[in-house]
Amino acid sequence: MRFLWIGKTKDPSLSKVEEKYLKRIEQHLPAERKTIPKLRKNDPHQQLAQLEREAKQIERNLPAKTYLVVLDHLGTEFTSPRLASFLAELMNRGVSKITFVVGSDLGIPERIRNLADLKWALTKLTLPHELARIMLLEQIYRAVTIIKGLPYHK
């Protein structure tokens, strides 16, 4: 699994939580986090150009033949058991690479959204992207423990 996002997590305490869940996931399957440097300009009129630059950076960092999941508030919602079932189905179908993309504060570029195999809504609420990263990692860890029959999910 690859977790891909734009910009560093600025809050050190949130970064530690990300690292904690990534390490937990790595105990059960190969996983990596890739942070794409934020190339933001301060001009609000340049948001479309910024999203285009982000799309190019994301595309450069997508592994070949990956199952692409983008976090999108308009996407499919899962319960934790259903997410575990969905991931198990992918693995049983022989999907060996899954990439999860969390956009910047500008969201997911439309071009990347259109490439996605799945658009996933963690919640219908709008979340800060740094918090969405933690929720994503925690839910993937929870799904892995459900698949493996471990007691983490209650």
Q: Where are the domains of the chain?
A: 2-148
CA angle (111 as vertex; 109, 113 as ends), nearest 5 = 70
69: Cα within 13 Å, side-chain hemisphere = 20
Amino acid symbol at 114: N
Q: Is the pLDDT of residue 46 over 90?
A: no
Q: Is 112 exposed, middle or buried (0-12, 13-18, 19+ CB in 10 A)?
A: buried
For 139, residues 6+ apart whose C-beta sits below 8 A from its C-beta are 80, 83, 122
Fold of 2-148: Alpha/beta knot (3.40.1280)
Tens of pLDDT, residue by residue over 65-122, are 999 999 998 899 999 999 999 999 999 999 999 999 999 888 899 999 999 999 999 9
Give pTM, 2 decimals: 0.93
Q: Is 137 helix (H, G, I), strand (E, B) or coil?
A: helix
